[in-house]
Amino acid sequence: MADILRIEHLKKDFGNHSVLRDISFSVNSGDVTAIIGASGSGKSTLLRCINLLETPTGGDILFHDRSILAKGTDIPAYRSKVGMVFQNFNLFENMNVLENCIIAPVKVLKVPRAEATERAMGFLRRVGMADFINARPRQLSGGQKQRAAIARALTIQPEVLLFDEPTSALDPQMVGEVLQVIGDLASEGRTMLIVTHEMAFARDVSNHVIFMENGLICEEGAPAKIFGAPEMDSTRAFLDRFRKG
């Protein structure tokens, strides 16, 4: 019952292409779940289904024991409890950094502007972006954009944060600053699902690792087990490829 999120036999087809075939797992409050796996294994589709950017074709997603696929679910209200950080940032190009961070609290959650600004400034300071509130997204580096996007996701005070390869679009020298921010959030006890190819980071920040292959969970468990003594051959093969690369 402490589950925030429970995924039950989730399926997603694109036409006749089964991308998620049968995914089940649950997320407790405070869990940091790392999702790893080869490109095309369905990791992004899984996160997008959880945020209902894709509509699952089968199975169920329970948020606090309530199905979000049930008729009559207030999808925008649900989404405002689940923050999402995208690989390509998706900051609003028509707004500066501060506006990006207060638009949802003000227009969606109806927080007074002054209060939203104060809250946003708090998060922007935490991610080291307080100096850049007047900048438009196109004026920022990739790392700065992603830190601003993380602040934006935090300003709706979500119960769960979803990260879809947050550092994959970044130049190598900017990966560290973003991982640092995400690591800090993890250590505060925030509930997060992180799709990543940064294996050392996944091992350090997560308490649960899911290895996906061809739309299925191939193996899952504590990071020490998955990274130290994986049971499945394909997990080992996948991790070996990373160690060599």
Ligand X SMILES: Nc1ncnc2c1ncn2[C@@H]1O[C@H](COP(=O)(O)OP(=O)(O)O)[C@@H](O)[C@H]1O
* Positions that interact with another protein (CB under 8 A): 51, 53, 55, 76-77, 79-80, 83-84, 86, 88-94, 96, 103-104, 107-109, 117-118, 121, 130-136, 139, 152-153, 156
- Of the candidate spans 44-52, 89-97, 130-138, 221-229, the one that interacts with Mg ion by CB under 5 A turns out to be 44-52
Neighbours of 183 (CB within 10 A): 13
- Of the candidate spans 15-23, 38-46, 202-210, 226-234, the one that interacts with Mg ion by CB under 5 A turns out to be 38-46
d(CA 90, CA 71): 29
Work out whether 33 is an interface residue with ligand X (CB under 6 A): no
Residues 15 and 209 sit within 8 Å (Cβ to Cβ)? no
Q: Which of residues 79-138 bind ligand X (CB under 6 A)?
A: none
Q: Nearest distance from residue 48's CB to ligand X, in Å?
A: 7
Q: Which of residues 44-63 bind ligand X (CB under 6 A)?
A: 44-45
Q: Rg of the chain's alpha carbons, rounded to an integer? A: 18
Residue with nearest beta carbon to Mg ion: 44
Show Cβ contacts of residue 198 under 8 Å, excluding neighbours closer than 6 positions. 167, 175, 179
Work out whether 44 is an interface residue with Mg ion (CB under 5 A): yes
Pairing, β 208-213 against β 32-37 = parallel
d(CA 178, CA 205): 13
